[in-house]
Structure 1
Amino acid sequence: MSPASPPQGTCVKPGSDVVCSGNGNCICGKCSCEGKHSGQYCEKCLHETCPTKCEELTPCVQCKAYGTGEYENAGECELKCYTKPIAIVEVISQDSSSDDEVLCRAEDATDQCAFYFVYDQTPDDPRYIDVQKTKECPPTPPIFWILIAIISIIVVVGVCLIIAWKVYAEVSDQREYARFEGETQKAAFKNTENPLYQTPVATYQNPMYGKQMKQ
């Protein structure tokens, strides 16, 4: 867009020289915005598909508010971000940002916590950037109870293995004892005379034999 001519002065945002912020046309002294843009000077674009400065501002927000991120070194943070009007606030409502603000959410790789900030939407650099003081972190896993559960599982498995081994040993002993008794009975049967067997050989003694010899 070319600089505004006098009749288009009402379509130029104060502090800028671009007609309708470059996002529309000035018709009859008013901006007719294109696409998803809106506002008196077509300076707003709050639709989810609109480009934002969230990614661009995140490194400076992160280093100034939390001392982490791409510019975590204090000297580098000051050098790269000294022009950014960053302020720390207690809470940023995620549901009530004004029409002039863009809500940003980013994640800190150092602790996997999310942080929020808002900036005012202007064609140029934001006039303010408010950062929520505290991050929103995922709930800490209950380490104590996890350890208790793991130990309990190990103990239960160990007891089950011991019981299984004892049962196996008992069954094996019973089988061995039964086999031993069977072999013992077989051996005893082989060495014992059958009580029902009667030998065909009989011995008889004549009671008169001795008396006749004496006479």
Structure 2
Amino acid sequence: MTAAYDTPVVLDRREGPYGEVALRRHGELLQIIANGCFLMDTSDGRSERLLVDVALAELGSRPDPEVLIGGLGVGFSLAHAAANPRWGAVTVVEREPAVVDWHLHGPLSEMSGRALADPRTTVVQADLLEYLRETSATYDALCLDIDNGPDWTVTDGNDGLYSPAGLASCARVLKPGGVLAVWSARPSPEFEGTLRNAGFQRVRTEEIPVARGVPDAVHLAVRPG
């Protein structure tokens, strides 16, 4: 019987600060479920890796750039960033204690164990929007993937990231000429306009075809130098 017909098995379920989160195994896949809503699994990862690659490419030859990854998820973006020696430092911000624990001590360590052991990697357990408002750190790139994107958020409050105030916080922690890359479950022309209105330059969207439905997308923008 193929994985598509296996019965999902809940490996862990916890009540977190933003509701219930669960980790399931479905055949060979690991899945994260939040308040009963499917968030992500380990089936693909192309768009999460592209999120990191396009940001690095946009930085050109900038030496030892520092990247902030917003959202640990199943670990695709973190693992991909840490596997590239060009990144000088990799910080990942994740607000769910359970997700951090599943990576450090649980089944998701098979995705991220090597990256978490890399001395360039730092894990910050915090709400991303609060971190962006309060941190004194600055970064060459922000690679953000905390929800389904600007047009449909699963978690109340996450839509603030895509607002003018949220983008102002992003610009605040970006170094001049720094890159903002935002993952989305579908392209959003409206969000491109919001990025331009917020003062970002070189705004564009990379699309990633999927098996069914609209493509995933990475929205890219640059803080003026």
Identify, as 1 or 2, the structure richer in helix. Answer: 1
TM-score by length of structure 2 reads 0.21
Higher RCO, 1 or 2 (CA under 8 Å, sep at least 6)?
Answer: 2
Identify, as 1 or 2, the structure richer in strand. Answer: 2
Larger Rg: 1
